[in-house]
């Protein structure tokens, strides 16, 4: 197994055993080096994308649409588990990334994205995550096939078009909300990605614009295997780890990543509330104030929760020691990420529990494998199942314990000049934020949750 290379270290002194030289492979190296990867999987997901878009606009024969069933009741709930097992492996095989690669092969020697795009790109990514979450909640994408199909078409077009204009997977790097979500959660994956310590021309093929030998930001690695398809040694190496989460490298977790972490907490809170009867009560109370417009009511609710999380961040900044406020906020944002991942997994279990079998039934009906005999909705749409609740609370508790273990720890590469008193104060603030958030999510997960997701 290759020795881990410090992402912040220079190339000097990085001579280590290279799996490509001694024949040993670790992690998913065998898959990444396969000559048919990721092209063959791209073809498969192109076909799946075409099927989904077709059914999104075609007349349906079952109660649900196969497009929404495949995307929101099977793929989306499976995504957080895939992140845990394989990090950003989805980015390597994603059809949007495949479309970007195809555009790059059509036009050679594209220029780099303009400096203004590279500077504003991270902030555009933050906005794309918010708009994605807002669209998911306000448009009810789980039951809106046409909106789902339209979003997939727009994302494919953007990925292909931007890669015709600029070098690399520009859409994946700056605008794709799914890619940004997998990036911040990849710190807690079982997969560890590092540079091989040997530089070669493969760095020019990296869609994230990194030199795989140094790989200063492992979370940027999309596991596409491009740097391993060049002649000579080099590229990235991977390994499996069941230990503690990987601490972000220098400049790998800054203001943008902190904003995404806090935004994900707000969106997860909104999605959790939406699954309970509290959402129906909120609607009854607020619909008259918004002219009985459902979407405006949802937008107001989601924005309100996001504002509440932003208020929590402002409180952290206010309490933190002057001169260290941004460092304290980024640290707090990183420590709550495991908790929000636990919430993501808990919601995914809820979706799979209540929507997995109906989704499979929908596919069987659409492909004429079984006849549709009708469906009677449950008497009470809000379900309570002890096995489900135990799984959800277990995942939430695991995220809570991991977040508490990170409380007060400073990110590597940040200014560590601090007294023990200020360090203890930071840890106290982190734990307060974590416990308050966990208490709120725990209350929501104790309640019966919707079986019509």
What does the DSSP assignment read for 341-409?
Answer: HHHHHHHHHHHHHHHHHHHHHHHHHHTTSS-----PPPSSSEE--HHHHHHHHHHHHHHHHHHHHHTTP
* 212 lies in some domain: no
* 222 lies in some domain: no
Whether residue 279 sits in one domain with residue 186: no
Q: What is the mean pLDDT of residues 33-38?
A: 90
* 249 lies in some domain: no
Closest C-alpha to 42, from 103, 98, 104? 98
pLDDT digits (tens, 9 = 90+) for 61-113: 666 788 998 999 899 999 999 999 999 999 999 999 999 999 988 887 778 88
Q: Quick check: 402 pLDDT over 90? A: yes
Longest dimension (CA), the chain: 70
Whether residue 426 sits in one domain with residue 282: yes
pLDDT of residue 197: 73
Q: Quick check: 423 pLDDT over 50? A: yes
Whether residue 439 sits in one domain with residue 303: yes
* 247 lies in some domain: no
Whether residue 285 sits in one domain with residue 143: no
Whether residue 177 sits in one domain with residue 101: yes
CA distance 260 to 258: 5
Alpha-carbon dihedral 416, 418, 421, 425, rounded to 10 degrees: -60
pLDDT digits (tens, 9 = 90+) for 217-231: 889 999 998 888 776
Q: How confident is the model at residue 417 (pLDDT cuts 50, 70, 90)?
A: very low
Segment of 10-19, 228-237, 279-288 carrying the highest mean pLDDT: 279-288
Q: Quick check: 376 pLDDT over 60? A: no
What does the DSSP assignment read for 268-314?
Answer: HHHHHHHTSHHHHHHHHHHGGGGTT-HHHHHHHHHHHHHHHHHHHHH
pLDDT of residue 379: 56
pLDDT of residue 207: 82
* 350 lies in some domain: yes
pLDDT of residue 20: 43
pLDDT of residue 119: 81
CA distance 236 to 357: 39
* 114 lies in some domain: yes
pLDDT of residue 47: 96
Instruction: State which of 190, 208, 225 marks the end of a domain.
Output: 190
Instruction: State which of 152, 175, 190 marks the end of a domain.
Output: 190
Whether residue 271 sits in one domain with residue 360: yes
Q: Which is it for the CA torsion 58, 62, 68, 70, positive or negative?
A: negative
What is the domain extent for residue 169? 35-190
Q: What is the mean pLDDT of residues 429-439?
A: 89
Among 19-28, 278-287, 326-335, 367-376, which is the least confidently predicted range? Answer: 19-28
CA distance 49 to 45: 6
Q: What is the mean pLDDT of residues 233-246?
A: 79
Q: How confident is the model at residue 6 (pLDDT cuts 50, 70, 90)?
A: very low
* 14 lies in some domain: no
- Compare 108 and 298 and report the one with higher pLDDT: 298
pLDDT of residue 255: 84
* 235 lies in some domain: no
pLDDT of residue 416: 47
Q: Quick check: 430 pLDDT over 60? A: yes
pLDDT of residue 14: 37
Q: In terms of C-beta density within 10 A (0-12 exposed, 13-18 middle, 19 or more buried), how is residue 260 classed?
A: buried
- DSSP conformational letter for 204: G
Whether residue 151 sits in one domain with residue 69: yes
Instruction: State which of 170, 190, 210 marks the end of a domain.
Output: 190
Q: What is the mean pLDDT of residues 259-283?
A: 91
pLDDT of residue 11: 35
Q: Quick check: 381 pLDDT over 80? A: no
In the chain, how many domains are there? 2
Exposure letters 275-299 (e unless 16+ CB within 10 A, then b): bbeebeebeeebeeeeeeeeeebbe
Q: What are the residues whose beta carbons fall under 8 Å from the beta carbon of 48, sequence distance 6 or more?
A: 70, 95
pLDDT digits (tens, 9 = 90+) for 177-225: 999 999 999 999 999 888 877 665 556 678 887 888 878 888 999 999 8
pLDDT digits (tens, 9 = 90+) for 319-362: 766 666 667 778 888 999 999 999 999 999 998 888 777 777 77
pLDDT of residue 1: 32
Q: What percentage of the chain exceeds 70 in pLDDT?
A: 83
pLDDT of residue 322: 66
Q: What is the mean pLDDT of residues 383-389?
A: 88
Q: How confident is the model at residue 420 (pLDDT cuts 50, 70, 90)?
A: very low
Whether residue 301 sits in one domain with residue 446: yes
Q: What are the residues whose beta carbons fall under 8 Å from the beta carbon of 317, sequence distance 6 or more?
A: 325, 326, 328, 329
Q: What is the mean pLDDT of the chain?
A: 82
């Amino acid at each position: 197994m290759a020795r881990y290379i410090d992402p912040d270290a220079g190339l000097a002194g990085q001579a280590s055993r290279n799996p490509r030289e001694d024949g040993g492979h670790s992690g998913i190296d065998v898959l990444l080096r396969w000559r048919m990867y990721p092209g063959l999987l791209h073809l498969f997901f192109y076909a799946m994308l075409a099927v989904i878009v077709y059914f999104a606009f075609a007349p349906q024969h079952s109660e649900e649409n196969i497009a929404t069933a495949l995307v929101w009741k099977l793929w989306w709930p499976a995504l957080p588990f895939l992140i845990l097992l394989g990090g950003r492996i989805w980015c390597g095989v994603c059809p949007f990334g495949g479309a970007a690669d195809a555009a790059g092969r059509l036009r050679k020697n594209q220029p780099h994205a303009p400096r203004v795009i590279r500077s504003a790109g991270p902030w555009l990514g933050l906005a794309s995550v918010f708009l994605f979450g807002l669209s998911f909640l306000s448009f009810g994408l789980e039951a809106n096939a046409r909106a789902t199909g339209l979003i997939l078409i727009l994302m494919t077009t953007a990925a292909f078009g931007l890669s015709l204009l600029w070098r690399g997977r520009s859409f994946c790097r700056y605008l794709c909300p799914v890619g940004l979500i997998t990036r911040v959660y990849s710190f807690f994956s079982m997969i560890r990605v590092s540079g091989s310590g040997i530089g070669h021309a493969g760095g020019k093929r990296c869609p994230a614009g990194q030199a795989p030998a140094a790989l200063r930001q492992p979370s940027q690695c999309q596991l596409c295997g491009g740097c391993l398809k060049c002649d000579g040694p080099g590229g990235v190496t991977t390994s499996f780890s069941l230990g503690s989460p990987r601490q972000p490298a220098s400049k790998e977790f800054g203001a943008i990543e902190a904003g995404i972490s806090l935004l994900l907490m707000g969106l997860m809170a909104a999605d959790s509330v939406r699954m309970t009867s509290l959402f129906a009560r909120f609607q009854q109370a607020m619909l008259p104030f918004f002219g009985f417009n459902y979407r405006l009511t949802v937008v107001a609710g989601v924005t309100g929760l996001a504002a509440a999380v932003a208020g929590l961040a402002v409180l952290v900044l206010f309490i933190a020691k002057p001169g260290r406020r941004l460092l304290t906020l980024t640290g707090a944002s990183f420590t709550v990420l495991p908790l929000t991942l636990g919430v993501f997994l808990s919601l995914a279990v809820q979706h799979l529990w209540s929507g997995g079998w109906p989704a499979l039934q929908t596919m069987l009906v659409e492909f004429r494998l079984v006849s549709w005999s009708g469906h009677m909705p449950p008497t009470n749409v809000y379900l309570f199942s002890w096995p489900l609740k135990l799984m959800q609370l277990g995942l939430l508790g695991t995220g809570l314990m991991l977040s508490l273990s990170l409380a007060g720890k400073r990110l590597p590469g940040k200014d560590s000049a601090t007294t023990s008193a200020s360090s203890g104060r930071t840890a106290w603030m982190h734990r307060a934020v974590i416990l308050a958030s966990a208490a709120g999510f725990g209350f929501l997960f104790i309640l019966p949750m919707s079986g019509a997701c």
